[in-house]
Amino acid sequence: MAQSLLTLIFTGLLLLAQTLGIQTGTERKTVDDLISAFHDLRASFLEEPGAKSDAGNAGTAPESPGAQDGRAAGDQPAAARVERRVLGAGESWETAYYVIDSGRSGPVVMVVAGLHGDEPAALLAAERLIEQAGEITAGQVVLLPEANAPAVRARKAHTGADLNRAFPVETVRGEAPAPQEPAAAAIWQLVEEHRPDWLVDLHDESSDVTGQTVVYHEAQPEAAWAAQAMAGHLNEALDEADTAFRTAGGLPSGSLARAAAELFDARALVVETHRRHSLAARSEWLADGVMYLLAYLGMR
Ligand SMILES: [Zn+2]
């Protein structure tokens, strides 16, 4: 019940957003209005008597995004279990990943950092997310902090070809070949194993085109909406004009995010900071963006 009404509200606002032609997020004022309207509607729904006691959603009713102090006291679920596993044990590209399991049903979100090895804010954000694993109260997070481990060690974007262009490109649906590059093949297998509902890839750029941007798959309205909401949330605390996050549709062909979206139907987001800002601020923004999405999905 709760989910279907939220979906209805979500779809209505999305259609309104599309009608107004604000997919690119260039008209921030209108987007902010819509986000705040969505939050108001959602909050009013959650306040309805009985909404939170719906048996199917007991203890997992999503709190209003950003309302981090609103958790009900006396209803603390058991802490999520964090398991460290290794991808490619013994290989030069061996790297650890973490499965954060709340023990409750909910979305599976895969968070990736370090596909490029010279983007420190993404790596630090991944560390912060492991530290905050205990806040996950529904679903599962699969976190791969150093996807391109040799590049991270070398502090270079890549040591060979760009790992984030090594993933399958959709030609005929369901017939994409596995990646040739061994690390990419192993990461791709991880995606196949966990079948994430959402995949969030963190980057830390030096480009004015991609920096400070939340990018979504252009054919996924839910991802577009989440990107708008995430950017809106991050921008609440940012007043400098050059710091604000924009949103944009369109993920590079061969990137992990586009491949996961097109071949496994994961909702795909790429969050990119700009290196002109301090490392502390950038890593904070990336971690905050992911934690916001988890709240948005009712996972914390
Ligand atoms: Zn990058």
145-178 pLDDT, tens digit per residue, is 999 999 999 999 999 999 999 999 876 665 677 8
Expressed in angstroms and rounded, the spacing between residue 116 Cα and the centre of ligand 1 is: 5
Is the model more confident about 163 or about 76?
A: 163
Question: pLDDT tens-digit profile of 196-255?
Answer: 999 999 999 988 888 999 999 999 999 999 999 999 999 998 866 778 999 999 999 999
pTM assigned to the model: 0.75
Mark 123-147 as b/e (b = at least 16 C-beta within 10 Å).
bbbbeebeebbebbbbbbbbbbbbb
Burial of 299 (0-12, 13-18, 19+ CB in 10 A): buried
Q: How far is the CA of 154 from the centre of ligand 1 (A)?
A: 15
The residue that leads in pLDDT, 185 or 26, is: 185
Calculate what percentage of the chain has a pLDDT beyond 90: 66
Q: What is the pLDDT of residues 264-290, one digit of tens each?
A: 999 999 999 999 999 999 999 999 999
Residue given tokens 């790596």 in the structure block: 123
pLDDT for 205:
92
Longest alpha-carbon distance in the chain = 58
Report, as an integer, the average pLDDT of 175-197. Answer: 93
Q: What is the pLDDT of residue 210?
A: 86
Distance 207 CA to ligand 1 centre (A): 10
Q: Which domains does the chain have, with CATH numbers?
A: 28-42+78-296 (3.40.630.10)
pLDDT at site 22: 44
pLDDT at 57: 37
Separation of 288 CA from ligand 1 center, angstroms? 18
**pLDDT value at residue 31:** 40
Residue 158 Cα to ligand 1 midpoint, Å, equals: 10
pLDDT value of residue 75: 54
**From the CA of 1, how far away is ligand 1's center (Å)?**
40
- Of 170 and 138, which is predicted with more confidence? 138
Sequence-distant (6+) residues with CB within 8 A of 105 are 60, 138, 139
C-alpha span between 32 and 100 (Å, rounded): 32
> Taking residues 134-147, what's their average pLDDT?
97
Identify the CA nearest to 295 among candidates 127, 82, 69.
69
The gap from C-alpha 251 to its chain's centroid, in whole angstroms, comes to 14
d(C-alpha 72, C-alpha 51), whole Å? 14
**Beta 108-112 vs 198-205: how paired, if at all?**
parallel
User: What is the DSSP-derived secondary structure letter of residue 288?
Assistant: H
- Smallest CA-to-CA distance from 24 within 285, 295, 261, 224 is with 224
Q: How far, in whole angstroms, is CA 73 from its chain's centroid?
A: 27
CA 86 – ligand 1 centroid, Å: 22
Lowest mean pLDDT among 77-81, 188-192, 283-287: 77-81
Name which of 26-35, 89-98, 268-277, 290-299 the model is least confident about.
26-35
| pLDDT value at residue 12 | 52
C-beta separation of 147 from 132 below 8 A: no
pLDDT of residue 241: 73
Span 3-22, pLDDT tens digits: 555 555 555 555 444 444 44
Determine the residue type at 145: P
Neighbouring residues of 123: CB distance < 8 A, sequence distance ≥ 6: 113, 114, 145, 146, 152
What value does the mean pLDDT take over residues 125-142? 96
Q: Residue 201 C-alpha to ligand 1 middle, in angstroms?
A: 9
- pLDDT of residue 144 exceeding 60: yes
